[in-house]
Each structure stands twice: as C-alpha cells, then as structure tokens.
Amino acid sequence: MNPQVRLSSLALWRSRLFSTPLDSAISLVVLAALVWAFAPLVRWALINATWAGETRADCAPGGACWVFIKARFGQFMYGFYPAAERWRPNLFLGLVVAGIVPLFWLHGRARLALGLAALLALPVLGVWLLGGGLGLRPIETRDWGGLMLTLFIAVYAGLIAVPLGILLALGRQSRLPLVRTLSVVFIEFWRGVPIIAVIFLASLLLPLIMPAGVGVDRLARAVIGLGLVIAAYMAEAVRGGLQALPKGQGEAASALGLGYWQTTGLITLPQALRISLPAMTNEFIALIKNTTLVLVVSILDLLGIAQGSLADPAWVGMNMEAYLFSGTIYWLICFALSRWSRSLEAGGPRSH
C-alpha cells in the first residue's frame, strides 16, 4: 500500500465528516443515531444468532434463530408445492432467465425474434410447468406459495397490465370521444381505489358475474384484480412517454401515408415505450410490493407463508426472523429493479 494514498483517503474522510465545527456536530449526531438504531439489530441478527440446529430448543435466547428459516426454507420458497416437483418452478425460472438475458446482447432482428418468442411462449409454458397436465402431475394453485407465488403473481399481473395499459394510454389520446372517455374513466377508477379493496372485490365479484358453473381459479382472480389496477398506472406511465414525443413524429408518419395503427405501432409507440420504460419499471416495483395484499384472500405468497409459519406451535415467537427474512427478499428484488430503472433513466432515450 502506498502511504500517500492512505493519507489522502484519510484526509478525504476528514474533509467529508469534520471539515467545519457544524459539520462535525452533524456527523456525530448522525453517527450516534446510526449506532443507536443498528447496534442492537446487528447484535441480535448476527452476533448472538443461532445458525445451526434442528429445532427451536437449539436456539440461544437473546439472538435470532435462523434455524427456523433453515427448517422452513422450502416453504418460504415454494409454499406447499410438492418437494418432488420443485424442479418445475426451478426449470421455469431457468427458462425465463435464458430467454431474457440474451436480449441484452442481441440486436436487431434476432433480438426482436427472441423477445417475441419468449413473450409468447414463456407465459403458456409457465402455466403448464407449474400447473401440470399433459403428462405432468397436476398441482393445484392452492398448493403454490412462497416466493415462487409472489413472482408468479407479479409477472402474470404484469402481463395483463402492460398490454392493457398501452391500449388505455392510446385510448386516452384517441380521436374518438367515446374511447377517450371510457379510457379516462377506467384509468381514474382503478387509480382511485385501494388495492386491498380491489383484491377483495375480484375474489368476491368475479365468481358472481360469471355464468353459473364457470369457475375462475382463486389465484387467477387475484392476478386479474391486480392486473387491472396496475394497468391503470401503466397507462399513465405510457402516456408520459407519448406526450414527451415531439408531435412531428406522428405527423411525419401520417404525411408518408401510414395509417393510425402503422404510425402508432412503428413510429410513436416504440419511442414512447423507450421513454416510459423507467416509469413502467417503477410501477412494476409497486406491483411486487402490492402482491403482499393477496393474503387478505388467504393466498399464501412469501409474506403469507411467513405469517402462516408463525402459527406453528413448534416455532412460536419467530416473528422477527420471519419478517426480517422475507422483508430482505422483497427489498433485494425491488432494489435491483429500481437500480436497473435508474440506469435506464441515466442512459436516456436513444437518439435517431
């Protein structure tokens, strides 16, 4: 190590924290607050924690009992999905990654082709792999749970929300007064009501408005409810992108003789989507956070499984462990997405 560098880094810290008396005072107050808040947490979660063992009796008092998480790990990830079939969600996740990651390197036609193929094939494949049938052992949605279910709900609600949101955003800008009014009413209605009420509404009302004998799966109902709400938010994100486009783009396309759908599909929408991608990602983060509300209709997502496991008499009093563990997973997923969205924003719209 070069002493020069060490000195300068020391100086850097000094200049950052203690350059003036006021700065020093602020630094000390902030540091004291951080220590006060985090020292007990670190002591409990790391230093005094028990990591190895089998049962609650193995855990030392005064520290976290991570044995509990270890014992219940499978449930936190997959819910009551049969252990012998857990390769299926794993495989699906692998396929999704394999379908999406190359999109970052490919360009032009290949990228478009792979993207479209993944978009069309993966959702169907996912329902088949997870749900079974056609040669696979059928596994009902009531056995799904945990992180797997959280991701499933988020992704499939997103698959409803994005296309619907785009249509609504276009509808809001439409020339036809009726379409415009309907889009505005739809968007403002769903944006105005709490999601907890929407999930409840979907689970109660959907079976009621269907013809007798037509059932809608419990999970599908929650996904549809969430999808409709997030579609309204997505529509507003896309509208931002459409409004940010210079009017000349659409006018030039019309002048070249392109019709409405050609202009929209080839010229304005692709550009608008690129601009609104960060905003749409933020809506997707909100969607992931809101999946936690499905527990009001006894669908056991990650948080639901965590809460359910607290009722187990063999593991009484593991509240902190369960919440800290599941909270960290939510945070990691959302944080990674928000970083990605931030980097998109920083990259800015591509110039033509």
Partner 1 sequence: MLRRLYYDARVRDLFWQIAISVGLVALTIFFVRNASQNMVNAGIASGFDFLWRSSGIDVPFVLTSYTASDSIWALFWAGVANTVFVSVIAMVLATIMGFLIGLARLSSHWLLSTAAGAYVEFVRNIPLLFFVLFWYFGVIAALPQPRDSLGFFSAIFLNNRGLTVPSPLDGSVFRWALLAILLAFAAQWLVARWAAARKARTGQDAPVIAAGLMLCLAVPLLALVIAARATGWDMPQPGRFNLRGGFVIIPEFVALLAALVTYTAGFVAEIVRGGIASVVKGQREAAASLGLRPGQILRFVVVPQALRVMIPPMTSQYLNVLKNSSFGAAIAYPDVVSLFMGSALNNTGQAIEIIAMTLAVYLFFGLIVSALMNWYNARIALVTR
Partner 2 sequence: MINRISTTAVAAFAMLGAGAATAQTLVPSPTLDAIRTRGSLECGVHVGVPGFSFPNDKGEWSGLDVDFCRALAAAVLGDANKVKFTPTTVQQRWPVLQSGQVDLLSRNTTITFSRNASLGVNFQGINFYEGQTFIVRKASKATAAKDLDGASVCVAAGSTEEKNAADWFRERNLKVTITNFQKNDDAIAAYDAGRCDAYTAGVGALAGQRAKLKTPGDHIIMAEPISNDPQGPVTRYGDERWQAVVRWVLNGMIAAEALGVTSKNVDDMRANSKNAEVRRLLGAEGNFGAMLGLSNDWMFNAIKAVGNYGESFERTVGSGSTLKLERGQNALWTKGGLLFTPPFQ
Taking the complex as a whole, how short is the minimal distance between the CB of residue 80 and partner 2, in angstroms? 3
> Are the beta carbons of 44 and 64 closer than 8 angstroms?
yes
CA-based diameter of the chain, in Å? Answer: 80
Candidate residues 316, 320, 332, 336; the one interacting with partner 2 per rule CB under 8 A = 316
Candidate residues 189, 215, 244, 265; the one interacting with partner 1 per rule CB under 8 A = 189
Is there binding between residue 44 and partner 2 (CB under 8 A)?
no
Distance, CA of 254 to CA of 173 (rounded, Å):
16
Q: Tell me whether residue 198 or residue 333 sits nearer to partner 2 (CB atom).
A: 198
Could you tell me the CA-to-CA distances from 92 to 205, 217, 281, 329 in Å, in that order?
A: 31, 21, 22, 19
Distance, CA of 351 to CA of 170 (rounded, Å):
23
Is there binding between residue 261 and partner 1 (CB under 8 A)?
no
Q: Report the site for partner 1 in 311-350 (rule: CB under 8 A).
A: 319, 323, 327, 330-331, 334-335, 338
Distance, CA of 224 to CA of 230 (rounded, Å):
10
Question: Which single residue is written with the structure tokens 């499905």?
Answer: 294
Q: Tell me whether residue 183 or residue 268 sits nearer to partner 1 (CB atom).
A: 183
Residue 219 in tokens: 């999970």
Is there binding between residue 289 and partner 1 (CB under 8 A)?
yes
Distance, CA of 345 to CA of 337 (rounded, Å):
12
Distance, CA of 294 to CA of 198 (rounded, Å):
10
**Dihedrals φ, ψ of 175, to 5°?**
-75, -30
Is there binding between residue 205 and partner 1 (CB under 8 A)?
yes
Candidate residues 317, 327, 347, 348; the one interacting with partner 2 per rule CB under 8 A = 317
Interface with partner 2 by CB under 8 A: which residues? 71-72, 75, 79-80, 140, 142-143, 203-204, 207-208, 212, 215, 218, 296-298, 307-314, 316-317, 319
Interface with partner 1 by CB under 8 A: which residues? 16-17, 23, 26-27, 30-31, 34, 175-179, 182, 189, 191-197, 200-201, 204-205, 207-212, 285, 289-290, 292-293, 296, 303, 319, 323, 327, 330-331, 334-335, 338
